[in-house]
Chain A
């Protein structure tokens, strides 16, 4: 149990375009999902917390107009990188909390496989 998928796994785009990344909880309903980015050999950086049916909570320094988050259902959250620039190139990872705790403690975050974004 507690499987999270993420799509696409890899994307290359031109500077100025927008990219949408989907995060799905496959076998549980996730009221809360998290979006992280990770630069090579660096730790995870939380970007925002996504709550189903309400606005996302962004971490300090993260531009909410650039990184649009939508959590329209209990199994899907999307991150859209708008007007992408080369400095947005990174590894984006989502995670979801399983409130039923079927796969472990209910506070456990289960991660998607990540999306590697390269902006040219």
Chain B
């Protein structure tokens, strides 16, 4: 079966750095997405990785290793507004998105 694993919840301190991991087992691979979802709102697109390596976009970076079926989202200089759920999603060989359950990130002052 297809499976996306990410931690249920993480806590970090304002101003610090946090890394949210995602491992996946899917039938084929056509890219990995990270979305941010604040409570009661719809997800917003953060990043897309299809090749191995690190993609940096401001305070957020996303890494992919296809051979290991592994990705992480790195958030630097954490701000209180970064408190949200972070969803990892993989596009399989049929171009269907397989969603992880999300990681709830709690930022403390």
Q: Which residues from chain A sit less than 8 Å from chain B, CB to CB?
A: 6, 42-44, 46, 91, 93, 103-105, 107-114, 116
Contact = CB atoms under 8 A, between A and B. Distances in A.
Interface residues of B, number: 21
B61 to A, nearest CB: 16
| Contact residues of B: prevailing secondary structure | loop
| Contact residues of A: prevailing secondary structure | loop
B91 A44 contact: no
Interface in B61-97: 87, 91, 95-97
Of B42, B95, B99, B101, most buried by chain A (CB within 10 Å of CB) is B42
Contacts of B50: 105
Given A42-B101, A43-B99, A43-B100, A107 B48 contact: yes
Contacts of B35: 111
